């Protein structure tokens, strides 16, 4: 009896199986050897921002002027004028310098907004971070060459043409860095 049950189970299993279809785990439209890089509008890539800016300006002036005049004694009806001479000199000097530096490091995901006729890509993106009511916002745009995009879909900020980075902060700390109302009024007068 046991053999009959076993034989019946084997027959049921053989007839109840359906056709199994195999599907490839590999997408044929992608390369097997490298990651797909951003090349069309809508693609996303990561910009590694590492910008250091330093500016120094110095100016100085030295101006001096000397004038001398002498007048002789008057004659005729002007004989009451005594001879006199005067010397006048004027000098001024000024110096000033300005120095400013800034560093910005960030990673910002941007989107390709347009493929230009020469094949370059116009990119634009924004990153906003809010911590303890302090809002920091980075807007970034520019033009990149597809060959500058790394295999990991990243690009260094120094490879971006017409790079425009706008970094702003709002909140308690940013408000404290602004001069007060009295200082602004005095600066307006002077």
Domain, as residue range, for 162: 34-53+103-174
Residue 120 lies in a domain: yes
Phi, psi of 65 (to 5 degrees): -145, 135
Residue 60 lies in a domain: no
Which parts of the chain sit beneath pLDDT 50? none
Residue 150 lies in a domain: yes
DSSP letter for each residue of 49-89: EEEEEEEEEEEEEEEEEEEEEEE----GGGTTPPPEEEEEE
Residue 142 lies in a domain: yes
Cα distance between residue 114 and residue 72, in whole Å: 84
Q: What is the pTM of this model?
A: 0.55
With 0-12 / 13-18 / 19 or more C-beta atoms within 10 angstroms meaning exposed / middle / buried, residue 171 is middle
Residue 16 lies in a domain: no
179 DSSP assignment: P
Cα distance between residue 138 and residue 103, in whole Å: 14
Residue 26 lies in a domain: no
Q: How many domains does the structure of the chain reveal?
A: 1
Cα distance between residue 6 and residue 66, in whole Å: 126
pLDDT at 155: 95
In what helix (H) or strand (E) does residue 189 lie, and over which residues does it extend?
helix 181-189
Residue 124 lies in a domain: yes
pLDDT at 154: 93
Helix residue spans in the chain (DSSP H): 2-16, 172-176, 181-189
Cα distance between residue 150 and residue 21, in whole Å: 38
Residue 39 lies in a domain: yes
């Amino acid at each position: 009896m046991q053999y009959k049950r076993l034989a019946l189970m084997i027959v049921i299993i053989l007839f109840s199986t359906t056709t199994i279809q195999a599907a490839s785990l590999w997408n044929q439209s992608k390369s097997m050897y490298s990651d797909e890089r951003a090349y069309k509008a809508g693609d996303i890539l990561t910009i590694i921002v590492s910008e250091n800016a330093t500016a120094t300006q110095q100016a100085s002036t030295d101006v001096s002027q000397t004038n001398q005049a002498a007048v002789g004694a008057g004659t005729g009806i002007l004989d009451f004028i005594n001879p006199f001479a005067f010397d006048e000199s004027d000098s001024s000097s000024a110096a000033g310098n300005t120095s400013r530096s800034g560093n910005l490091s960030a990673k910002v995901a941007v989107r390709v907004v347009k493929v230009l006729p020469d094949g370059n890509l116009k990119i634009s993106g924004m990153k906003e971070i809010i911590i303890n009511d302090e809002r920091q916002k980075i807007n970034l745009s520019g033009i990149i060459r597809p060959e500058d995009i790394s295999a990991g879909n990243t690009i260094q900020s120094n490879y971006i043409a017409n790079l425009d980075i706008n970094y702003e902060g709002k909140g308690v700390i940013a408000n404290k860095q602004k001069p007060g109302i009295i200082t602004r009024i005095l600066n307006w007068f002077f």
